[in-house]
Structure formats: structure tokens, C-alpha cells
């Protein structure tokens, strides 16, 4: 990074370098339609600082969403709150510092016209450029546009850069996908049935302006919001009704994917799930050279894979941050410190850093190079690195051994195996890393009970503090009674009192077990499974086979005296589809001299003296 002064490795303590500017107390809102290149009318809400001079020129924050750009609130809330009150944190934090904000309903959504074949379609991406053209033609615009967002809106912010529009100066994707197949729909090739179905349900209701769907899922939104905010001239909502009619042609990902298995399965228009991804735009991102501040959390679904993959693959100037919170950073999520009462930094502190980043780029100094700030769970400390994985770590193998143990000593016996009859009632719960994609808190405090249905292996107590940071992998030599199945592997630590703390996991559907020798579509740091039809093969019942896959990246400190635990399941019933569909396999895991199953973990021993 350029000349920013850092007091420590906490990215929220960065001292940014930019001049102070005039601040504003309040903001105005207006709601209009903007015509796109093909005539589709896109609804926008424009927030401008109150009291700006007519000749005042402002940078614009662009925020493109599929979750309603603004709300028509219910009474009495509507009487005192603005239509943008649903956003956390308040847009006032940006307008206060002299930014205009343009909130957008992407085509096919909210009060916009048009329809969508799937999320992040090519047309949706192009709309970003049309909207930027409109912004910079406004009398209040200074010609600079930045974009941020969380989750869906992270991807719209990121893909704004695809257009290589010269007015786009910086992007800030928070908790955004990189590869839709592995990050969201099919992590490890296993269909995340729960999220994809719920997300599609929510989307369908949003697009028909039905807030009733929120009552069970996000109750405060149901109580607060009557629907999407119509444009200002649409006082009888007739224009909104016309837009809703067009949304009836929308497609939803559950309908598109629920009968699919492979990365190269076709969607109705001949596209593949890759069309929904960001990685396909790597060349355009790099050509734009737009600076990026990306942020995510260790326990956020497979979005943490997305985050690391974005960091290692893009050459753009880049600040990446990994914290210990849920998807969207409303709740803390550090399983080794489960009693932490609230998320740090606070949303207000976080957003201040985000605005500082934009101010620095627009008014201060450019961002150079790449830096990743990461929080080590259990140590409660921020670290930073220019490369991932960080330097100074060595790989250590722990072998599955007798009596449900793992040890650093390779087995020497010719025999040794464990049978596991798959429990299809096994679950990591509904407050796991996958359900947090709905914004829910994360809670893995039930591992003692959950592990009783799993095959587990525990290490001896550690003789010193050990930091695990990076991607661990698992290699199992196994046979099954069935031709399909899945392995879910959990890494946990056991403290002095016997409390079990989950910290990461990995999973793989067994038909995808082939390690591909093809070049991956982007650089990855774990064994490459293509998830393509040509590489899939059923298991041969009774035949031993090698299965290797990566755990999701982590950073955790295991204290001296604590133990490492590996727990293996064949299902996660509240999240993933059941493999195989019928039957109840027994999986036999070998742990002997010929077939030594193991985990391979990046470690750094800490000096305890």
C-alpha cells in the first residue's frame, strides 16, 4: 500500500491520507426510471446531500441490487423514515461525506422493468455502464463513480468493472462470489439445496412485490416494508404493476439447477453456471486495473474460497480483509470465542473505513500492490500478508490411526480400517456457514452432539501453541457399498475443558473425486476437481479408491494442551442434497501402511517460552 500509516495490522485502524472536505447533515431522495440501451426502464433512487450548491460536483456511490433498491415502508414507519432506511449502515454516512448515492433495482427486479434469465446476466452487467453514463451526465456529478455491496450487490459492484468504464474508480465487493458453481450452488459438487431453494423463493416474492415472504425469514423487514418503492410519479402504482408483469418471465436458480449436477450442465439458453460467475471476467477486471477493497469472513459459506481466489488471481491493486463474522458482518462468528457479544468492528466503524478507502482513491493517494489482512481465530489478532498462503508455514500430516486418533506417525500395520454407516440425520444445523448466506448468525456450539453421528479422530494434546493458516487438505483411501456418496470433513479443536470448537470444513461428492490434470479455469490452491461430466465416475462398490480434497481456508490458533479433531460425515441433512438418493452406504476408511489416510495441514509453531 502507498503511504498509509499503519499502527498495527488491524485494517480498521489504517490511517488514510486524503484532505478533509465539507460535510453534510441530511440528504434528499428521488425515485425515477432511467432508460437503458434497449429501452428497458431501470428504477433508481438518488440520494444527494442536502444543501449542496447548484454548481457543486460530487462523486457517486453506485449500488445495484436485486433486493429492492428502496422500500415503500408501512405506516407509521413511512411517516418518519426515508425509503432508504432499510440499509445498514445508513446512506447518511456516505452523503455526510459528500457522496451522491444511486441505488438501482437491477433489470427484472423491484420497480425496474425487464426480466432476467439468471443472476448477473450479460445484460445486467451492461446496464452498469449505461447507469454510469447517466450518472456522469448529471449536473451534480464530478464524473467519478465507485461501487460497493455485500453478497449479491458485491458481485454487481465487482462486475461493474467488467465494462471498463473510465468513470469507475474503485470497487468494494464484500462477501461476494467468484465461482457460482463451487462457492454457492454446488460446494464440493454437493447441491446446497436449502439455500438455493430459499433464495429463489425470496427472489420470486421480491420480484412480485410481496413482502409477506419475509415474515418467517427476516421478520423486521416484513414489519417495516410494504413493498418496493415505486418511482415518484407512480402514485397509484400502475407503473409498478406493469413492471411486475414483465418480471413474470424471470427464471430462478432453483428451477434452473435443482436437476443439475455438473459445472458444464446447460442452462436453458445454452449458458452454464459459469456465466453467473465473476472469474470469467478476469481479463476485463485486470484490464480495468480498478482498485479493489474486498472483505469476507472465515465462516462465510464457500465465499471464503471466493475471497481468496479473487485475491490470488487478480493483479489489480487490492486490499483484502478476512474477519470473524457472519455473511454481511452483522454478527460475530469466531467459534473459538463463542461468547463474543457483538461484532467488531461495528458497522459504523466498518463503513467509515470503506469511505476512507474511496476518499483515498478519489482525493488522496493511489493504492498499490496487494495486501491481505486476516484475523486469526483463537488468537484474536489481525495479521497481514502480501501473498497467500502467508509465508512461514510448513505442512504437517496427521494420519488417521487406531482407536479414533490422529497422529503424525505414519501407520506401519498392514491392516487397519474403520467402517462408517452413513447417518443421513447428521447435520451441522441451520445456523451453519451455509445458512448464513441468508444473513443468519453462525452457531457451531452443538458439535459434541453432532459428532456422535460421525466418524471422528482426535490428536494428542498439542505440546505448544500452533497456528493453522491456509488450506488444509484431506486424503482418504476408502471404499463404499454404493456407487455415489459424499464426504463431509470437519476440523475442530478440543480445549482443556473438553469443549469442541469447529473451525473449518471441506466436502466432496464422490463421483467428482478425479483429480483433473486439465488447467483449472483460474488458479486454485487445493486439488483440482473439474466437476465436469467427462471427469465424473461412479464409485465401484467394494473397491478402494483415493479421495483427496481441500478444506476451506482458515486461520486459527490451537493452544498448548488443546487437541485437533477430525470428524467425518456422509451427509449434512439440513443443507445439502442426499448422495446417493437411495440407500444407506457403509464407507470403509483405510488407515494402514498401504493405504494411509491423512490430513495435511499448514502450521506454524509458536514460541511459548
Partner 1 sequence: MENIIDGLKNMLKEQVSINIDDIKLKISLDFKGEKKRKDELGKESEVKDMLKVIGGLTEDIQMDINVDEESQKITIEFKNKEDMINVQNILENLWEKASELLKKAFLGDFMAIKDLGDFTE
86 vs 494, which CB is nearer to partner 1? 86
d(CA 89, CA 347) in angstroms, rounded, equals 6
- Work out whether 441 is an interface residue with partner 1 (CB under 8 A): yes
Q: Can you tell me which of 61, 167, 202, 224 binds partner 1, judged by CB under 8 A?
A: 224
Q: Can you tell me which of 13, 126, 204, 226 binds partner 1, judged by CB under 8 A?
A: 226
Q: Can you tell me which of 13, 57, 78, 96 binds partner 1, judged by CB under 8 A?
A: 78
C-beta separation of 200 from 206 below 8 A? no
Among 33, 193, 327, 471, which one carries the catalytic annotation? Answer: 327
- Work out whether 25 is an interface residue with partner 1 (CB under 8 A): no
Q: Can you tell me which of 4, 17, 56, 90 binds partner 1, judged by CB under 8 A?
A: 90
- Work out whether 80 is an interface residue with partner 1 (CB under 8 A): yes
Residue with the three cell numbers 502450521: 603
Distances in Å between the Cα of 308 and the Cα atoms of 165, 294, 302, 402, 441 are 26, 10, 10, 35, 22
Residue 423 annotated among the catalytic residues of the structure = no
Of the candidate spans 31-39, 76-84, 356-364, 586-594, the one that interacts with partner 1 by CB under 8 A turns out to be 76-84
Write b or e for each residue in 39-53: b if 16 or more Cβ atoms lie within 10 A of its Cβ, otherwise e. Answer: ebbbbbbbbbbeebe
Residue 459 annotated among the catalytic residues of the structure = no
- Work out whether 235 is an interface residue with partner 1 (CB under 8 A): yes
C-beta separation of 140 from 56 below 8 A? yes
The secondary structure of residue 520, as a DSSP letter, is P
Among 115, 121, 141, 151, which one carries the catalytic annotation? Answer: 151
Which residues, in sequence order, are CB contacts of 96 under 8 Å at separation 6+? Answer: 23, 24, 25, 49
Q: Can you tell me which of 12, 140, 222, 363 binds partner 1, judged by CB under 8 A?
A: 222
Q: Can you tell me which of 21, 23, 81, 242 binds partner 1, judged by CB under 8 A?
A: 81
55 vs 236, which CB is nearer to partner 1? 236
Binding mask 156-195 for partner 1 (x = CB under 8 A): ----------------------------------------
- Work out whether 96 is an interface residue with partner 1 (CB under 8 A): no
Residue 7 annotated among the catalytic residues of the structure = no
- Work out whether 522 is an interface residue with partner 1 (CB under 8 A): no
∠ CA 431-434-439 to the nearest 5 degrees? 65
Q: Can you tell me which of 88, 249, 386, 413 binds partner 1, judged by CB under 8 A?
A: 88
Q: Can you tell me which of 74, 169, 260, 397 binds partner 1, judged by CB under 8 A?
A: 74
Among 261, 300, 451, 505, which one carries the catalytic annotation? Answer: 300
C-beta separation of 335 from 377 below 8 A? yes
d(CA 175, CA 296) in angstroms, rounded, equals 5
- Residue 228 DSSP SS3: strand
User: What would the grid cell of residue 395 be?
Assistant: 505442512
- Please classify residue 140 by burial: count the beta carbons closer than 10 Å to its beta carbon, then call 0-12 exposed, 13-18 middle and 19+ buried: middle
Which residues, in sequence order, are CB contacts of 1 under 8 Å at separation 6+? Answer: 319, 367, 368, 369, 371
User: Where do contacts with partner 1 occur on this chain (CB under 8 A)?
Assistant: 74-81, 85-86, 88-90, 212, 215-216, 219-220, 222-224, 226, 235-236, 441
Catalytic positions = 151, 300, 327
Amino acid at each position: 500500500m502507498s503511504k498509509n500509516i499503519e499502527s498495527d495490522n488491524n485494517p480498521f485502524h489504517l490511517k488514510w491520507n486524503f484532505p478533509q472536505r465539507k460535510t453534510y447533515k441530511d440528504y434528499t431522495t428521488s425515485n425515477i426510471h432511467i432508460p437503458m440501451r434497449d429501452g428497458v426502464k431501470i428504477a433508481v433512487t438518488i440520494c444527494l446531500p442536502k444543501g449542496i450548491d447548484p454548481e457543486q460536483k460530487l462523486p457517486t456511490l453506485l449500488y445495484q441490487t436485486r433486493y429492492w433498491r428502496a422500500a415503500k415502508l408501512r405506516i407509521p414507519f413511512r411517516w418518519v423514515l426515508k425509503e432508504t432506511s432499510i440499509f445498514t449502515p445508513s446512506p447518511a454516512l456516505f452523503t455526510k461525506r459528500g457522496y451522491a448515492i444511486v441505488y438501482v433495482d437491477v433489470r427484472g427486479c423491484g420497480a425496474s422493468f425487464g426480466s432476467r434469465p439468471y443472476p448477473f446476466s450479460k445484460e445486467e452487467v451492461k446496464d452498469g455502464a449505461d447507469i454510469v453514463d447517466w450518472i456522469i451526465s448529471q449536473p451534480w456529478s464530478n464524473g467519478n463513480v465507485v461501487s460497493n455491496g455485500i453478497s449479491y450487490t458485491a458481485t454487481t459492484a465487482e462486475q461493474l468493472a467488467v465494462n471498463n468504464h473510465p468513470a469507475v474508480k474503485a470497487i468494494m465487493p464484500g462477501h461476494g462470489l467468484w465461482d457460482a458453481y463451487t462457492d454457492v450452488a454446488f460446494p464440493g459438487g454437493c447441491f446446497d439445496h436449502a439455500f438455493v431453494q430459499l433464495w429463489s423463493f425470496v427472489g420470486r416474492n421480491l420480484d412480485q412485490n410481496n413482502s409477506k415472504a419475509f415474515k418467517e425469514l427476516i421478520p423486521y423487514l416484513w414489519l417495516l416494508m410494504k413493498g418496493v418503492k415505486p418511482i415518484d410519479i407512480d402514485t397509484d402504482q400502475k407503473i409498478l404493476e406493469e413492471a411486475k408483469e414483465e418480471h413474470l418471465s424471470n427464471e430462478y436458480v432453483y428451477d434452473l439447477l435443482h436437476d443439475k449436477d455438473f459445472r458444464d450442465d446447460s442452462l436453458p439458453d445454452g449458458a452454464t453456471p459459469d456465466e453467473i460467475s465473476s472469474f470469467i471476467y478476469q481479463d476485463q477486471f485486470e484490464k480495468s486495473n480498478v482498485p479493489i477493497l474486498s472483505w469476507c469472513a472465515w465462516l462465510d459459506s464457500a465465499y471464503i474460497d471466493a475471497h481468496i481466489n479473487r485475491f490470488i488471481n487478480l493483479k489489480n491493486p487490492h486490499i483484502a480483509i478476512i474477519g470473524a463474522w457472519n455473511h454481511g458482518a452483522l454478527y460475530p462468528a469466531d467459534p473459538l470465542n463463542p461468547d463474543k457479544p457483538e461484532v467488531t468492528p461495528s458497522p459504523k466503524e466498518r463503513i467509515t473505513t470503506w469511505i476512507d478507502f474511496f476518499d483515498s482513491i478519489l482525493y488522496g493517494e493511489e493504492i498499490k500492490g496487494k495486501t491481505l489482512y486476516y484475523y486469526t481465530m483463537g488468537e484474536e489478532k489481525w495479521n497481514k500478508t502480501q501473498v497467500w498462503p502467508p509465508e512461514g508455514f510448513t505442512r504437517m500430516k496427521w494420519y488417521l490411526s487406531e482407536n479414533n486418533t490422529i497422529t503424525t506417525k505414519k501407520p506401519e500395520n498392514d491392516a487397519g480400517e474403520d467402517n462408517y454407516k452413513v447417518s443421513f440425520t447428521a447435520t451441522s444445523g441451520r445456523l451453519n456457514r451455509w445458512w448464513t448466506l441468508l444473513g443468519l448468525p453462525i452457531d457451531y456450539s452443538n458439535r459434541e452432539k453432532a459428532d456422535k453421528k460421525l466418524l471422528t479422530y482426535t490428536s494428542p494434546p498439542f505440546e505448544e501453541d500452533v497456528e493453522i493458516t491456509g488450506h488444509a487438505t484431506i486424503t482418504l483411501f476408502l471404499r463404499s457399498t454404493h456407487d455415489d456418496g459424499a464426504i463431509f470433513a470437519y476440523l475442530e479443536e478440543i480445549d482443556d475443558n473438553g469443549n469442541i470448537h469447529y473451525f473449518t470444513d471441506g466436502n466432496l461428492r464422490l463421483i467428482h473425486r478425479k483429480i483433473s490434470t486439465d488447467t483449472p479455469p483460474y488458479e486454485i490452491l487445493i486439488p483440482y476437481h473439474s466437476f465436469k461430466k467427462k471427469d465424473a465416475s461412479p464409485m465401484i462398490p467394494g473397491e478402494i479408491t483415493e479421495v483427496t480434497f481441500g478444506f476451506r481456508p482458515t486461520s486459527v490458533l490451537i493452544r498448548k494442551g488443546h487437541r485437533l479433531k477430525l470428524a467425518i460425515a456422509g451427509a449434512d441433512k439440513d443443507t445439502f442434497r442426499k448422495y446417493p438418493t437411495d440407500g444407506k452406504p457403509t464407507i470403509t476408511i483405510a488407515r494402514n501402511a498401504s493405504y494411509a489416510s491423512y490430513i495435511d495441514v499448514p502450521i506454524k509453531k509458536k514460541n511459548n517460552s
